[in-house]
Amino acid sequence: MTQETKNSILIIGGGLIGLSIAYEFARNNFKVLVLSKNRGESAGFVAAGMLAAHAEGLENELLKFGQASQSLIPKWIKSIEKDSDMKCGLKKCGIVVPFTNKHELEEFPTYKYGSYLNQKDLQTEINGINSIWKYGLLFEQDGQIDNRRRLMRALERACSLHGVKFQEGSEVKDLKIEENKIIGATVLNATGELKKITCDKAILCSGAWSKKIFNKIPVFPIKGQMLSIQGPTNFLKRIIFGPKTYLVPRDDGLIVVGATVEKDSKFQKGNTPYGIKQLQEGIRSLLPEATNWPQMEHWWGFRPCTPDLKPILGESKIENLFLATGHYRNGVLFSAITSDLLLKLVQKKDLKEIEIMFLKKFCLDRFEL
Ligand SMILES: Cc1cc2nc3c(=O)[nH]c(=O)nc-3n(C[C@H](O)[C@H](O)[C@H](O)COP(=O)(O)OP(=O)(O)OC[C@H]3O[C@@H](n4cnc5c(N)ncnc54)[C@H](O)[C@@H]3O)c2cc1C
């Protein structure tokens, strides 16, 4: 086997996780091919971009995973920005979680990581917050990336400059397995031809659609609808993370508003009057003044969810087929650590004790298939 073949890898899915992994492998001298059915449908272009390990109230290994990724992100983003010559909008702006009563605040899973805010503090942190909110927790360590307008594009550019090849509009129809080892895939390409692609290693990163390719994976879609409003620049400095709605202020005053959580939507496309109404009510409940600000865009997407809401990472039961899917609500947050972990696993080196623990907790085998 030549060195070139030995170090090649096929990435199935060019969404946020696929691009993050492609970038990591390419800058570590792998020859990378990304097969992408439709970049436009990727949840990477949908997400609000919150880095909310604490504000999401994650627990146990998921919290540790989020915290570990959060600590990798600044260096990782710096490298993407340098390689792509594009900014990603990373901001440690802090996230405020508001509460109507003290009991809810004290019961919040990540309570001990936040700063306590009484109503006066809350109003100082969040200009114009609805007076129904009496308390808050401020997580200064949380923040955001502008995934939709910046990170996805910067990643694509950085990947291309590192020699990653992309086949956009190419849908993997099935995997070619021989003697329990992946040897390639059948692909329907953008011009409607069925092609066979060979590979000696592959990583499945097909988000909410993963089960369609590898039916042993218990991943299913949870739809989320979003919209944006244009506020005055610098009106809102922190993210507000309410129980049903969050407001994420970008530098230019655009506020990303999310998101519905639709469990039975399957892959039903489009925004709905009910979804938009829920978001508008959410804005009113958090920041009444913002109901007068012009609505800009609305969009939707599919979170890749698993039965226990944790990602599926690592080996599959098929030799040389690796899995990186099921990131559900926190794929932006988890992207840095996922790509780092997958590289170490495939290279079989440098795995630390905590990373071995993550691979154990997030393995496919935890499900009875
Ligand atoms: C409304 C909403 C808000 C969110 N907000 C946040 C947030 O604030 N913070 C956060 O951390 N996370 C957030 N997320 C979650 C995050 O967006 C996802 O976890 C993450 O994008 C998953 O990345 P992925 O690459 O697995 O999937 P995707 O980004 O969806 O990419 C999957 C890609 O695989 C391709 N594909 C599928 N099948 C095939 C096939 N057969 N052949 C080839 N390609 C295929 C698809 O076309 C797609 O481009 C949000 C998600 C949604 C929907």
pLDDT reading at 158 higher than 90: yes
User: Looking at domain 3-78+148-219+308-366, what is its CATH homologous superfamily?
Assistant: FAD/NAD(P)-binding domain (3.50.50.60)
* Contact indicator for 111, 270 with CB cutoff of 8 Å: no
Q: How far apart are alpha carbons 194 and 179 in whole angstroms?
A: 23
Rounded Cα gap, residues 298 and 227, in angstroms: 4
pLDDT for 252 beyond 80: yes
Which whole-number Å values give the CA distances from 91 to 49, 70, 140, 148, 287, in the listed order? 10, 12, 11, 14, 21
Ligand 1, CB cutoff 6 Å, lining residues? 12-18, 35-39, 41-44, 46-50, 171-172, 205-209, 213, 224, 226, 258-259, 301-304, 325, 327-333
Higher-pLDDT residue of 216 and 18 is 18
10 Å CB burial of residue 274 (0-12, 13-18, 19+) is exposed
> Can you give the pLDDT at residue 369?
67
Summarised one tens digit per residue, pLDDT across range 104-154 is 999 999 999 999 999 999 999 999 999 999 999 999 999 999 999 999 999
The domain limits of the chain are 3-78+148-219+308-366, 95-144+220-305
Topology of domain 95-144+220-305, CATH: D-Amino Acid Oxidase; Chain A, domain 2 (3.30.9)
Please state the length of the chain.
369
Q: Quickly state the pLDDT bin for 1 (edges 50, 70, 90).
A: very low
Give the pTM: 0.96
Distance from residue 107's CA to the centre of ligand 1 (Å): 30
